[in-house]
Amino acid sequence: MTMIPPLKTRDVSRFGRVGLVIGGSSAEREVSLSGGEAVAAALARNGIDHCVFDGPLALFDAIGNGEIDRVFNLLHGPDGEDGSLQGALQLMQVPVTGADLASSALSMDKVRSKWVWERNGIDTPPFEWFAANDHGYERALEKFGLPLFVKPTGLGSSIGISRVNQEDQLTAAVELARSYGSAVIIEAEVRGDEYFAAVLGRVGLPLIRVEPANEFYDYEAKYESDQTRYFCPCGLAEGIEQDLRQRSLLAYDLLGVSGWGRVDFILDESGTPWFLEVNTTPGMTDHSLVPQAAAEVGIGFDELVWRILETSL
């Protein structure tokens, strides 16, 4: 059973004027805009004084003018989820929802976050890292065989990710990933079901199992398809699910994440979870997973937005 702590406050004046920052210039802009519309509506229904900003520069101007007391961050990807925004707000002494500078930067970096997990006994799919001038992709083929996953090292929402089934697909997959950043990783495929563990405060919410409409849980399956199937409850035995929630929380803690987030993993046929990444600013669209998990324990969307905002107190 999931024990949900009481709200920290019911006094809307505690928040002051909130700057909701969305959009920005990253490849995840459209996802952020979609979620931002829903969050802005929830802030209004909660009676929270707020203003919406497209990207951090307009937000910084408002902060400089003394117009904003705290920030609800819903930027995804570079400049919002990678520590840049968090560091600037730290210097300005303005509270912000979610993870801090260091944990945001570490979680966004797929290579270094996986190194931390490997050092601490957390299973993550084997991978090879290719810096900007490293084109020796054959070593991943020799080491892992096919199929492979090619990914940018610092982007979410499955943007720029390819599943490579044939050797002649590899170069195009790397070029796609490099179009979103100079460094890429190539991972061995781990076969199993995809699970997602939302964390709110220090509470692990019910796991969600996803059956993607496509070959894997790519951008289309996440945000555009009505054929992707979501299971919450996820169908695992209670004891197994509780253990996986605890392991997910450990993976989350090892990267120093706080406030709220989502831990993604694949559960193989032997019951071993292989951790993929931690999202420090998960999506809040109508297809998103954190709202689905929160609803399973009786937290509606408006209360979820309130609780996320409380992480800035």
Residues with active-site annotation: 28, 157, 223, 262, 264, 277, 279, 283
What is the number of other CB atoms lying within 10 angstroms of the CB of residue 233?
12
DSSP 11-63: -GGGG-SEEEEE--SSTTHHHHHHHHHHHHHHHHHTT--EEEEESHHHHHHHH
For residues 217 and 266, give the distance between their C-alpha atoms in angstroms, rounded to a whole number. 11
The tokens describing 135, both together, are 């084109």
For residues 4 and 298, give the distance between their C-alpha atoms in angstroms, rounded to a whole number. 9
Asked if residues 64 and 54 have their Cβ atoms less than 8 Å apart, the reply is no
* DSSP type of residue 206: P
For residues 228 and 288, give the distance between their C-alpha atoms in angstroms, rounded to a whole number. 12
Asked if residues 221 and 283 have their Cβ atoms less than 8 Å apart, the reply is no
Q: What are phi and psi of 79, to 5 degrees?
A: 75, 0
What is the number of other CB atoms lying within 10 angstroms of the CB of residue 16?
13
Residue labelled with tokens 């928040």: 15
The tokens describing 220, both together, are 């289309």
DSSP 63-86: HHTT--SEEEE---STTTTSSHHH
Q: How far, in whole angstroms, is CA 290 from its chain's centroid?
A: 10
For residues 122 and 199, give the distance between their C-alpha atoms in angstroms, rounded to a whole number. 18
The tokens describing 142, both together, are 């020799």
